[in-house]
Structure 1
């Protein structure tokens, strides 16, 4: 697979940290960036943090009767009860790992990189971080869930230091049910992941301004601007 297409919100000042934000199924990096911009009335932008919005490759998607769509992985169905489609999850983990390595080569330590996303993007970020990149700065998942039998839960056993999970979910979500998100949070918490879970009572499967403002505050808490060395 060729390098993933992406759009970027560059930092206003010196680049000292990175956020990789994964879109939901059928969307694009540019699409989620525009949705965030419309919701916040401005870009999710920072003085020192670069925000990268990659676009998933086009692939056959089983819940759409095999139609082609921009999805991070395939699902047997949209449910937390079925097995994970491990072949597609593993393949995409490798390609997103390449994206993380690009940031590292640009001088950003892995503990200054956050992974997260909306819906399928959040699920992909949780799988990627907790299975393969447990030394990132943190993980966020908006309207997302992991399947009950996820291999992630097996991998996390006997790990002491894990990145914090910031999770948000609308109580009225009719696609990825709120209960699925909450169950994921509790299961990760019982596996040693420090978690927070924010419920939004009037929110469907969508983004909200309050949610994104809370996310922005959390990003700044996890990736504070580093003090520059004094000049002689």
Structure 2
């Protein structure tokens, strides 16, 4: 796909029918790319749903410190495994700008923010939460899988009045045996969001750093409610 601006990322797109009524913008995890979750679409989509446009962007390649500086697709550098210092702030900020550019492109294509769902797994989920918490125009919902709030203390300390952002419903899911992003980090993120006034639908599964069939079904139920009430 051609880029229409310097900040617009290349994407993989799947439309489930003509004239899509909703957009699902899905951010992959570290080292993957936009193709990672595309195969999930047939298992997730239900026959009674409206036509959807799935947009799977590719994060830009960057050096990742914990992987000996190896370049790979990443939404931000991971400096160490300590969650408080894991994400580099500049990378997070850059990725938020890139995600906002994709949301703006959806508006140009006739898809208002109220019909855009922002989804992310692991690193992508961290960007989903960081971007969603700052929104002044609410999205249709946020989905954060196997992830945490990056730079949580700094973000929460500098966050302006949440206001409209807290009207965005949130689906969060985490593996109880996750060796990459500890379960406690995801649970803490959900509790922090609830403190800010977000309606968080939290799910825990007996799995590692992954997606399971029950999680896909639960997410499908949650999405059905979004499409019905939207």
Q: Which residue of 2 aligns with 1:229?
A: none
Contact 1:156 1:192 in 2 (8 A): no
- Give unmatched runs, 5+ long, in structure 2: 1-5
Give the ranges of 4+ consecutive aligned residues of structure 1 lying more than 4 Å apart after TM superposition. Answer: none
Q: How much has 1:218 moved relative to structure 2? A: 1.3
TM-score normalised by structure 2 residue count: 0.87
Q: Which residue of 1 aligns with 2:64?
A: 61
Contact 1:84 1:150 in 2 (8 A): no
Tell me the distance in 2 between the aligned counterparts of 1:147 and 1:57.
Answer: 19
Q: How much has 1:136 moved relative to structure 2? A: 0.7
Give the 3-state SS of the residue equivalent to 2:192 in structure 1: helix
- 2:225 is the alignment partner of 1:211: no
Q: How much has 1:11 moved relative to structure 2? A: 2.6
Contact 1:33 1:43 in 2 (8 A): no
Give the 3-state SS of the residue equivalent to 2:204 in structure 1: strand
Q: Which residue of 1 aligns with 2:34?
A: 29
Which of 158, 175, 184 aligns to 1:179? It is 184
Using the TM superposition, name which of 101-110 and 70-79 deviates more. 70-79
Q: Give the 3 Å change call, closer, same or farther, for CA 196–152 of structure 1 in structure 2.
A: farther
Q: How much has 1:86 moved relative to structure 2? A: 1.3
Q: Which residue of 1 aligns with 2:3?
A: none
Tell me the distance in 2 between the aligned counterparts of 1:114 and 1:203.
Answer: 25
Contact 2:80 2:86 in 1 (8 A): no
Q: Give the 3 Å change call, closer, same or farther, for CA 133–11 of structure 1 in structure 2.
A: farther
Give the 3-state SS of the residue equivalent to 1:212 in structure 2: helix
Give the 3-state SS of the residue equivalent to 1:223 in structure 2: helix
Which of 190, 199, 224 aligns to 1:194? It is 199
- Deviations, residues 187-218 of structure 1 (Å, cap 9, x unaligned): 11112211111011x21111111101211221
Q: How much has 1:85 moved relative to structure 2? A: 1.4
Tell me the distance in 1 between the aligned counterparts of 2:24 and 2:203.
Answer: 20
- 2:137 is the alignment partner of 1:140: no
Contact 2:170 2:198 in 1 (8 A): yes
Tell me the distance in 2 between the aligned counterparts of 1:166 and 1:58.
Answer: 28
Q: Give the 3 Å change call, closer, same or farther, for CA 146–6 of structure 1 in structure 2.
A: same
Which of 72, 75, 79 aligns to 1:72? It is 75
Q: Which residue of 2 aligns with 1:230?
A: none
For these two proteins, the number of residue pairs brought into alignment is 220
Q: Which residue of 1 aligns with 2:21?
A: 16
Tell me the distance in 2 between the aligned counterparts of 1:70 and 1:85.
Answer: 15
- Deviations, residues 158-195 of structure 1 (Å, cap 9, x unaligned): 33331121100010111111111001111111122111
Q: Give the 3 Å change call, closer, same or farther, for CA 148–185 of structure 1 in structure 2.
A: farther
- 2:157 is the alignment partner of 1:154: yes
